[in-house]
Structure 1
Amino acid sequence: MSGSGRDAVPGLPDALPIAVVDNHTHLDIERDGVPVDVADLLARAAAVGVDRVVQIGCDLPAARQTVEMVDTYAGMLGGVALHPNEVPRLAESGGLAAAYAEIESLARHPRIRVVGETGLDYFRTAPEGQGLQHESFRWHIDLAKRLDKALQVHDRDAHADVLRILEEEGAPSSTVLHCFSGDVTMAQECAERGYYLSFAGTVTFKNAKGLRDALSVTPLDRLLVETDAPYLTPHPHRGAVNAPHLVPLTVRAMAATLGVAVPTLCEALSDNSERVYGPW
């Protein structure tokens, strides 16, 4: 599971001085033919100071697997939802109502602390499917509030509508914009609303100055970090298979952008994660 290139997971970076949480990862997904050994990936992550993860299952098979995984691994909590790109497909097949019912049942598990990822994706879904995404997003927001779970929001090319629907519905007390991709103005508005912004490996990319500018105006008590593994691998391994043990690369890049010491940022990231999700 080590090496370089698109067909392997990079090796271990230098360990962080204080352990943090990978706030959003998909350890159910195999990429580029690299087998997923969950126990090994978690051990590698813990060795470099990433001792807790939030595993996200965003279709029915992944949600079921996530519930099994959180019962197996002490360092893992979970989230379940129907990804916005899943919703039009399920509606077309006539399976959306049953899928909602199963997600609600799975979300009641005590180690499932997240409803998500849900939200809007205007990149992969055509305009005619966007109304269904809006309805699904509202349903998931309501579920998170009814179950008193954190909400993790997927937002791709849909910033204005994501913020509008959260405002109209009333966001849950813990709302996380996963893999934040907005600008400075959006980051400031989210922070004012009390949302958490989770930054992925994209913040390390050379062409991501706008994202680093958004990070620079985000208060420490609103920050989280994630991999979105097996995707969005941080520099200098962009294009390789991502994994939780690469979080330290993103954390150090974030600390440099913020102008804070790495231990200071690590402590904030850990504290924020426990505040959002509760104890592991």
Structure 2
Amino acid sequence: MLFTKGRLQIIPDSPDVVVYGSPREARSAVITGRVVYATRTPRAVTSLVVRFRSKHEELFNPAMSVACQAELTAIVVKDGRVCAPSSVQAYDEASGQQEWRFALSVPGNVSETVFTPSAFVAYELMGELRTSGLMPWMPFGRAMCTTPLAVKRVPAEDSLWAALAAEPLDVAASWRSRLELSATAASRIVNDAQTYHVTGVVRPLAKGVRLLRAAFELRETIDGPFDADSARGHAAARCSHELCLSAPSPNSMQMRTAFAPTVAPELPGMAIDQEIQVAGALHV
């Protein structure tokens, strides 16, 4: 007989787990957090398990989910006893909560979180708790909860990957031989919560070109084998929301871009500190 009562919540110490280095050289990462069980009266917990598993988004076709990692399990409570290295805090009558600490090791070759038009890789933490009845004939209780968890991979400081990515960015493109745009940046690596400064130069290659707006856009593109034929070249879903808006400077030959004050605080992701210049002379 099953009887569900109480509210279970799993709270990781960080919303993401970071592995350093390539899949072949990265070390294991550790996920830590706490599990909180809220009830009106204290109950005997006989089992508590935390699992790290692939997530099946309801908004996507389940067939598009790439199961890149087997389910990992951390046993926190077994047969009513707390298993090392987990720890437990006694039931707090004031808040009506009982809390456990947990740690879960994730291998270094785990695939990063990716969302693309054709496939996605996502993970979540799931907690499952069982309680026993106050009397042998009373029903036992069961509670479950899940929370999303992102996996990020960054290059090791002394790796070749980091050395190549740290090289300055210098790219250029032209449009119909009438307009040329070049962009430079100090590095190809951008860390979380770090402003990325990009400088661009717009150069007209023909007369009669009128510049109305210029801005850079941040997009994430990831290549990987996602389908059955291991085809590559799937670009990530366009997460290039409007990061910056351009505004003309007092000098008509130069444009500088900045955040819109009413929009910037609500924008997710990283910021782009843009600077776009227009070539002042044209000789044809």
For Structure 1 versus Structure 2, the TM-score category normalised by the shorter chain is: under 0.3
Q: Name whichever structure is richer in helix by fraction.
A: 1
Q: Name whichever structure is richer in strand by fraction.
A: 2
Larger Rg: 2
Give the alignment's TM-score, normalised by structure 1.
0.19
- Structure possessing the higher relative contact order (Cα contacts under 8 Å, 6 or more residues apart): 1
Give the alignment's TM-score, normalised by structure 2.
0.19
